[in-house]
Amino acid sequence: MEIQVYVARPEHGKYAEQICEEIYISSLERKTGIAKRTPEYIIEKINAGKAVIALSDEGEFAGFSYIESWGHKTFVANSGLIVAHKFRGMGIARRIKEQTFLLSRRLFPDAKIFSITTGAAVMKMNYEFGFRPVPYTELTDDPEFWKGCEGCRHFDILQSHDYKMCICTGLLYDPKEHLEIHSPKEK
């Protein structure tokens, strides 16, 4: 079975309910916090060209992720990475993460990209893409971003620490830290 991973298009909105359900079930299984999203929110990301979807060659939903810009487009969050149970262990998460990262860089080339997660696999992938762990104070201070955490079971921890700490690890990719250095040509 072939799995294709690409930027989601409006016709993929039909998977929004399934995406939300998969995210929710996964959070319960892992006993971790996760910000709940509505199908309408997922459709908004898809229609805006800010989502990546994985589908089988038979049209089955296999995985998803989306991006959102914050702080006047100085930050981009990579969020909602999920792989459907049936398709786990096939390397799809890495392919989705790669496409989400590339989409972030294409749409917001100068923005810092961040992710908050409790998942070791996501942390490992982020490290491989050049992300580094950071305190929350290095992430966006946009209050709208932190409102997205209200659906998480650990939101009270975040609130009690003035949005500066929670159980998730903050990871940041700063494009200024990854500039290519070209050596002058020798004569």
Helices within 48-133 (DSSP H only): 92-107, 120-128
Q: Which of 85, 73, 69, 99 shows the shortest CA–CA distance to 22?
A: 85
Quote the CA–CA distance of 110 and 187 in Å, as a whole number: 34
CB 132 within 8 A of CB 75: no
Under 8 Å between Cβ of 9 and 46:
yes
**Within a domain: 94:** yes
In contact, 53 and 90? CB cutoff 8 Å: no
Closest to 82 measured CA to CA, from 154, 141, 29 = 29
Q: Is residue 73 part of a domain?
A: yes
Residue 185 lies in a domain: no
The 8-class DSSP code of residue 120 comes to H
> Alpha helix (H) ranges present in 48-154?
92-107, 120-128, 143-147
Predicted confidence at residue 64, as pLDDT, reads 97
The one-digit pLDDT tens for each residue of the chain (187 residues) are 899 999 999 999 999 999 999 988 887 787 666 667 899 999 999 999 999 999 999 999 999 999 999 998 999 999 989 999 999 999 999 999 999 999 999 999 999 999 998 888 889 999 999 999 999 999 998 888 888 888 777 889 999 999 999 989 999 999 999 866 555 665 4
187: in domain:
no
Closest CA to 96 of 120, 62, 48: 62
pLDDT reported for residue 32: 66
Residue 183 counted as domain residue:
no
**pTM of the full structure:** 0.88
pLDDT value of residue 91: 95
When divided into structural domains, the chain yields a total of: 1
Q: How far is CA 183 from CA 180, 186, in A?
A: 10, 9
Q: How far apart are CA 60 and CA 45, in angstroms?
A: 19
Report yes or no on 186 lying in a domain.
Answer: no
CATH of the domain at 68: 3.40.630.30
- Angle, CA 119 vertex, CA 67 and CA 163 arms, to 5°: 65
Would you say residue 26 lies in a domain?
yes
pLDDT in tens, 159-168: 999 999 998 9
Domain of residue 155: give its range.
3-178
Residue 100 is assigned to a structural domain of this protein? yes
Phi (first) and psi of residue 31, to 5 degrees: 55, 40
